[in-house]
């Protein structure tokens, strides 16, 4: 998990998707995040964290429902949203941080 902490410390904003394989809304969010990542063209990194395999990270950031998206900028959580988010919503959220 050291790689996770190093990644979120960088200058490029990182949108982290906290998810689980069994979660239906998480499965709906996955293709939306792929589309979002393509549209952002490297301006934002998208990272997926499986809460079942990384419970310590989920606990550290107080993840209580999934999917939960958290936007990190230089190690700080600057935005958080639970539930499925559409590409346009995500573009608006990250717009002020890129």
Confidence of residue 1 (pLDDT cuts 50, 70, 90): low
Is residue 44's pLDDT more than 70?
Answer: yes
Instruction: Catalogue the active-site residues.
Output: 23, 26
Taking only the tens place, the pLDDT of each residue in 62-92 is 999 999 999 999 999 999 999 999 999 999 9
Question: Residue 91 maps to which CATH number?
Answer: 3.40.30.10
User: How many domains would you assign to the chain?
Assistant: 1
Q: What pTM was estimated for this model as a whole?
A: 0.94
Confidence of residue 3 (pLDDT cuts 50, 70, 90): confident
Mean pLDDT of 26-32: 97
Q: Is 22 left (phi over 0), alpha (psi -120 to 50) or beta?
A: alpha
**pLDDT score of 2:** 79
Question: What is the domain extent for residue 25?
Answer: 2-95
CA dist 23 and 94 (Å) reads: 25
């Amino acid at each position: 998990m050291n790689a996770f902490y190093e990644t979120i410390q960088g200058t490029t904003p990182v949108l982290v998707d906290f998810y689980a394989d069994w979660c239906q809304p998480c499965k709906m969010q996955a293709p939306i995040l792929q589309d979002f990542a393509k549209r952002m063209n490297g301006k934002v990194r998208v990272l997926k964290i499986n809460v079942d395999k990384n419970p310590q990270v989920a606990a550290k950031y107080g993840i209580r429902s999934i999917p939960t998206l958290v936007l990190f900028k230089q190690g700080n959580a600057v935005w958080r949203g639970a539930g499925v988010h559409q590409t346009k919503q995500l573009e608006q959220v990250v717009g002020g941080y890129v």
